[in-house]
Structure 1
Amino acid sequence: LLRNREKIQFPFCLMSVNITRIAIQALREECLSRECNRQQKVIPVVNSFYAATFLHLAHIWRTQQKTISDSGFVLKDLEVLAKKSPRRLLKTLEIYLAGVSKGQSSLLGAKKCCGPQAPYSKDLTFTGVCDLQPHSSEGTWLI
């Protein structure tokens, strides 16, 4: 689960499977062909596309305070965007990573600069499975 200070839970594994599906479909439907041809590479483009799509999803989830009940709608919108504008997602990832390398962003979250190219404004923390604690006798887990 991904969470921030507001304790918004993010179903990381579930979303990872769905983004993998989106990336494979985008590749099969030739949405990534132009970028693959431009770079003369396939696997690195698909990897970057996956990361860019996940980055966008995390941003939407955090800024719009989505919950698991919103996930179907969020994924549907994300899939449309990913197939329609893959270059836009990839460019956002490039800008984000450039900020990380210059110390303007943290690796897990936030742009520290302002402006229209700085949509990621809060640090994220990840909770591993080992950090989960059982909740009473109900068999549910708390983070």
Structure 2
Amino acid sequence: MLRQQFPFCLMSVNITHIAIQALREECLSRECNRQQKVIPVVNSFYAATFLHLAHVWRTQRKTISDSGFVLKELEVLAKKSPRRLLKTLELYLARVSKGQASLLGAQKCYGPEAPPFKDLTFTGESDLQSHSSEGVWLI
């Protein structure tokens, strides 16, 4: 199986920028008003945007050289259809909780390579080191 390098840190900074711009440009106002919350909406929007990016990266086999184009398309989608991204995240999380989706795939993972969902909560580097024998996850 071909594994693609994923510039997680770089993409995280860019998605943070997209989320802040969407908030400043009032693209999230309707959802913030509907939920009567701002920070939880922005957090969910960030996660939804990252989920979409990860999906595009993996399914379309994107590389570092594609990142500028991918981010531009993502920014347009995020500002134009924030509710769509949030709804996709909501549906995805419901599927994960039922065991019908993996962290980045559409189907449940089986076998020794299945992500250990109960182990996904960590608070620092020491927690990551304790799981290093389980292998490295690449998107």
- Asked if Structure 1 and Structure 2 have the same fold, meaning a TM-score greater than 0.5 normalized by the shorter chain, the answer is yes
Of 2, 6, 9, the residue aligned with 2:5 is 9
Of 104, 107, 112, the residue aligned with 1:109 is 104
Of 66, 70, 74, the residue aligned with 1:74 is 70
- Does residue 1:92 correspond to 2:88, yes or no? yes
Structure 1: stretches of 5+ with no match in the other structure: 114-122, 132-142
2:41 counterpart residue number: 45
Larger relative CO (CA 8 A, sep 6+): 1 or 2? 2
Offset of residue 111 of structure 1: 2.1
> Helix, strand or coil: the match of 1:46?
helix
Structure 2: stretches of 5+ with no match in the other structure: 109-113, 116-124, 133-137
Q: If each structure's helix is expressed as a fraction of its own residues, which one has the higher value?
A: 2
Superimposed CA distance per residue, residues 36-76 of structure 1 (whole angstroms, 9 cap, x where no aligned partner): 00000000000000000000000000011111011000000
Superimposed CA distance per residue, residues 12-55 of structure 1 (whole angstroms, 9 cap, x where no aligned partner): 00000000000000000000000000000000000000000000
Q: If each structure's strand is expressed as a fraction of its own residues, which one has the higher value?
A: 1
Offset of residue 110 of structure 1: 1.9
Which of structure 1's runs of 4+ aligned residues deviate more than 3 A? 128-131
Per the normalisation by structure 1, the TM-score is 0.75
What is the RMSD of the two structures over their aligned residues, measured on CA atoms?
A: 2.3
Tell me how far apart the structure 1 counterparts of residues 82 and 106 of structure 2 sit (CA, whole Å): 21
